[in-house]
Every structure is written in C-alpha cells, then in structure tokens.
Amino acid sequence: MENPVILETKNITKDFPGVRALDSVSFQLKKGEVLGLVGENGAGKSTLMKIFSGAYPANTYDGEIFIEGKRCILSGPKDSQRAGIAIIYQELNLIPELTVAENIFLAREPTVGKTGIIDRKKLFSQAKDLLDRLNIPVPPEEQIKNLSIGKQQMVEIAKALSYQAKILILDEPTSALPEQEVEVLFKMIGSLRSRGVSMIYISHKLDEIFKITDSVTVMRDGKTVASRRTPELSRQEMVALMVGRNIEDMYPKKSLAAGEVVLEVKNLFVSHPFLAGEKVVKDMSFKVRKGEILGISGLMGSGRSELVTSIFGAFPADSSGEIYVGGKQVKIRSPYEAINYGLGLVTEDRKLFGLVLGMQVGENITLSCLEKLSWHQIIIRSRESELINKYMGALRVKARSAETVVNTLSGGNQQKVVIAKWLATDPKVLLLDEPTRGVDVGAKVEIYQLMNKLAGEGIGIVMVSSDLPEVVSMSDRILIMHEGRMVKELQKNEATQEKIMFYATGGK
Ligand SMILES: Nc1ncnc2c1ncn2[C@@H]1O[C@H](COP(=O)(O)OP(=O)(O)OP(=O)(O)O)[C@@H](O)[C@H]1O
Ligand SMILES: [Mg+2]
C-alpha cells in the first residue's frame, strides 16, 4: 500500500531579482519515506527547502504548502518547527564552546521551578535520554568543538528531532563528512525511517541516492521534472533527467604523453598548526609532469589538504623540504609568491579560502590576476571583461551576469567561480583540493574536460579527492596518504577503489 502524503506543494514560484529560482513547483513527500532530491547546481533544491524551513516566509513566494493534507502558511522558522519540519544545513549551526546538552536545549533549558535558573542536572539527563533513544554515542557533557564533524551532525539531528520533527531535511549532509562517518549517518537515517520520520535527502552523490532513498524527485531549472521510485530509475536516466541531455561518458579521461617535470617536492614535512612536535605531513616526495594528472587519495585527516595548502604557502604552520617549479628551486612563503611562481590552488573550503562572497562573480574571477590586466596600475576594463566572459562561458557559470554577487549563486556555481579564478592566472601547476565537491554531474564532466584541456596545454595537475571513482578514472597516477605519509603509489592501470581504500585505511 502506498504511504499517505505528508508534505505537498502546489505551484510554488519564487523569484529573486532577475532569477526565477522556483517555477510552479509541485512536490510530494510521502510519510516514512526517504526522498532523494537531485538536480544540477542552481536547479532550486535549496531554495525549496528554505521555503519549507520558513527561512523564506510565505509572503515572499506564490503557491501553497500542505502538511498532512492541511494548508499551512509558514511565516517563519517557528512555524515550520511547529509544523514538524526540521532542516540540517551543510554548515552546522552549533556553538563550539557549549556542551552537547546546552546546544540541544539552547534557549529552552529546563529551569528549577519558576526561578529561571537552569537545572543543569535535568538538562544533562534530558539530553542523555534523547541521545540514548536515538542511539547516538555522544556524551551530553562534551563540548561541541571536541566532536568530529559526523558527531556534530548527529547532535544537530538530535536537536532537530527534540522538537518532535516529522519531516527531516538533509541538504548535502555528507559533503563535509569523512568517509568513515557516512555509514553512521546512513544507519541513523535508516533507523529514523523505521520510526516513521519522513526525510528529504539532497545530494550530488548519486551512489548515495541509490543506496538510501525510496524515491527520487528531479529538479531542473526551478521545476520538478520527474518523480520515480528509486529502483525504477537507472543512473543513466537520472543523469539525463537532471541535465536534460544524455551523458555518455562520466569520466572522459584523455591520456597524454607526460612531458618534463613541472613540480617536484622533496622530503616535505609540515608541522601541526598547534601541537608542538607533531607533523601533519611526513617526508613526502613526488614529481608532477606537464600534462599529467596526479591524484592524491587518503582519508580525511591523512594530510592531503595540508600537503597542497602548504606547497601553496597557505598553511599556517612551518614546513621543511625542497620544492622545485620548472626545475628551479623555490621558497614559497605566501600564496602571493605561489601565484608568481605559476601555482594555483582550488581549495576544498571555498567559503574560507576561495572566494570573497560579498563580491561579484567577475571581480572574484580576476582577483588573482589583476596585475596581468593592468597597465601602470590601471585595470584595463575591456581586457578584464573579455577574461571574465571567457571563463564564465567555458565553465558555464550559471549567474545572471558577471555583476551578480557570488553569495547568491548556488553551491556548485560558486565552485566553478573558484576554478575560473585560478585558471585566469594561467598557472603552470594547478593544485585542486576536492575540485568537484558539491558540483552537479553535468558540471563535473565539464570540469573533467577542462582538466583534460589544461593537461593538454601542458599544465601539471595535482588533484586531491575523496571521490574514489573520480580519482581512479581521472588520474594518471595516484599517491595514497595515511597519517601524513605516502604509503603507496598506484599507476592508472592498476588502481581500483578497493585498493585505494585498503592502503588509505592503513593496510600493508
Ligand atoms: N539569495 C539569493 N539571491 C539571489 N538569487 C538566489 C539566491 N538564492 C538562490 N538564488 C538563485 O536561485 C537559483 C536556485 O538556487 P539554489 O541554491 O536553490 O540551487 P540548488 O539546486 O540548491 O543548487 P546546488 O546544487 O548548487 O546547491 C540559482 O540560480 C541561484 O543563483
Ligand atoms: Mg543547494
């Protein structure tokens, strides 16, 4: 028997200045199901969820929402909470210095009688009850900052459910989660499902969608274009529905004859940013050739990101070792120097290092190459806009114009802007740290094609990635890191996902 519908929308239309983010969306979620919501970057997924969470109040859009058949006007987050809707955003909303229990019951702590004094004993015991009920192995007295991201996410979920949520929305919940913790989240989702909680699960990782969802709704250009039972949909079909065309080859790797060495790293050690005597990168040595894509794999915390940020002069701790660019030894003390030596770094955390969010798309793209565009300190506007148009076009950045503020772009489109920014510097070596995180399937293929093209032009590419199919398919060679050390090098023809996981988890 089909489950009854718990959440439904009719003809929701939402405009932002110049953009129709949602175009007459009709959407249905059934009770107790996990619904996967997929679609390209900018399709409108997060916007629809923000309508459900009350972040966009009812007077800012057209259309109707029904919960368990009843028309609901959601005028703000409190209304959504009362209606049983909870949302877990990608950026967690906990206070690091406070304990788990304090975070869960923030601003509604139990008090001693009517005194207004917080009843700490009751606070912790209530939190413990809740965590136990949900099988979350986190002590209520622990400070949030001491928990792994996965555990923090569990606390957020516990907090959401403590408001008796019936509908839980997870917007790209695994994008910042280490591989080991993804399984724990999936178990949690499974157990919530068996308790009758309905969930909307947004992800660009289609493996996850196939693994944990009961049904799938596809959005494209602000519309819902299909809703199916997950088992009735093939991967190929899902991708085609998302991007509106067939993608034959997800990983279009071209093999090129590798040229001379463009980057060489010898015996690199990188110190821990605050633990004296500890090293996060230990004795790394490797070479990258022109036209080569060198993959770097390893679990979160294995030193992958520290390695590339340190090479780029952007890691806040000492390092020792030798770096050669184009055969010449260099000392890179800052990103500015790195850029001058011909290095580019696309970082994992675009919000922290990649973009100036309050600035326009075009300004961000040219930020790192203003010297090239200037004549006696004056920026030549025609040259600037030519460059901006070139890269916005090449990467198909979905923005109304180059003047659009980056903040308002969807996640994946922000990532494209970061890549555009580094390409605009004409690098010899491009360091990519999780280049396709949060990027939709169509744009992923575009980024891969771009990597091929850059390799073809003689750029050496270092790609740190935890997306195993991506590393296996797009690298010429793969270095595997474990606890700061390189533990294995695999050639393209011998690399498999299983082998990588084996060495990444410390296998010998
Ligand atoms: N605050 C805003 N101001 C202006 N435009 C916005 C705003 N938020 C979203 N948009 C635009 O609305 C459209 C839908 O964006 P949304 O964030 O919902 O996409 P998404 O499907 O979640 O994409 P992604 O997969 O990249 O997260 C995009 O074109 C985006 O640029
Ligand atoms: Mg989104």
Give tens-digit pLDDT for 195-246: 999 999 999 989 999 999 999 999 999 999 999 999 999 988 999 999 888 8
Cα of 216 vs its chain's centroid, Å? 20
Distance CA 127, CA 155 (A): 10
Residues 6 or more apart in contact with residue 31 via CB below 8 angstroms: 3, 4, 5, 6, 196, 198
Distance CA 123, CA 120 (A): 5
Say which amino acid occupies 380: I
pLDDT of amino acid 353: 60
184 band by pLDDT with thresholds 50, 70 and 90: confident
**305 CA to centre of ligand 2 in angstroms:** 24
349 band by pLDDT with thresholds 50, 70 and 90: low
User: Over the stretch 164-182, which tens digit does the pLDDT of each residue have?
Assistant: 899 999 999 887 777 778 8
Distance in angstroms between the alpha carbons of the first and the last residue of the chain: 50
Instruction: Pick the ligand that lies closest to the CA of residue 51.
Output: 1
| Cβ pair 429, 457 in contact under 8 A | no
Distance CA 148, CA 299 (A): 14
Distance CA 34, CA 45 (A): 15
pLDDT of amino acid 52: 97
**450 CA to centre of ligand 2 in angstroms:** 23
Residue with tokens 């175009």: 23
Query: Which of 65-69, 138-142, 301-305, 328-332 bottoms out in mean pLDDT, i.e. has the lowest?
Result: 301-305
Q: Which residues surround ligand 2, an ion (CB under 5 A)?
A: 46
Instruction: Pick the ligand that lies closest to the CA of residue 437.
Output: 1
| Mean pLDDT score, 292-307 | 92
| Mean pLDDT score, 297-310 | 91
Question: Alpha-carbon dihedral of residues 44, 45, 49, 50, nearest 10 degrees?
Answer: -40
439 band by pLDDT with thresholds 50, 70 and 90: confident
Protein residue closest via CA to atom 3 of ligand 1: 408
pLDDT of amino acid 1: 61
Distance CA 366, CA 222 (A): 30
Q: Percentage of the chain surpassing pLDDT 90?
A: 61
**355 CA to centre of ligand 1 in angstroms:** 17
Mean pLDDT over each residue of the chain, to the nearest integer: 91
| Mean pLDDT score, 181-193 | 90
| Mean pLDDT score, 48-72 | 96
- pTM for this structure? 0.81
352 band by pLDDT with thresholds 50, 70 and 90: low
Q: How many helical (H) and strand (E) elements, i.e. helices and strands, does the chain have?
A: 16, 22
**397 CA to centre of ligand 1 in angstroms:** 12
Instruction: Pick the ligand that lies closest to the CA of residue 21.
Output: 1
Distance CA 488, CA 499 (A): 10
Distance CA 383, CA 204 (A): 35
Rg (CA), the chain: 24
List Cα–Cα distances, 68 to 6, 28, 160, 197, in angstroms.
4, 11, 19, 13
**In this structure, what token pair is assigned to residue 312?**
């780029």
DSSP H helices, 213-281, are: 235-243
| Binding-site residues, ligand 1, Cβ < 6 A | 16, 19, 21, 39, 41-47, 398, 408-412, 440
Protein residue closest via CA to atom 9 of ligand 1: 408
**47 CA to centre of ligand 1 in angstroms:** 6
Instruction: Report the atom number in ligand 1 closest to the C-alpha of 43.
Output: 21
Instruction: Pick the ligand that lies closest to the CA of residue 22.
Output: 1
pLDDT of amino acid 488: 97
Ligand 1 pocket: which of 40, 46, 218, 405 to mutate (most atoms within 8 A of CB): 46
Question: Alpha-carbon dihedral of residues 90, 95, 97, 103, nearest 10 degrees?
Answer: -110
Domains with residue ranges and CATH for the chain: 1-84+166-246 (3.40.50.300), 94-165 (no CATH), 261-504 (3.40.50.300)
pLDDT of amino acid 348: 63
**DSSP state, 484?**
T
Query: Which of 88-102, 138-152, 344-358 bottoms out in mean pLDDT, i.e. has the lowest?
Result: 344-358
Residues 6 or more apart in contact with residue 340 via CB below 8 angstroms: none
- Mean pLDDT is highest, among 9-23, 234-248, 249-263, for 9-23
**27 CA to centre of ligand 1 in angstroms:** 18
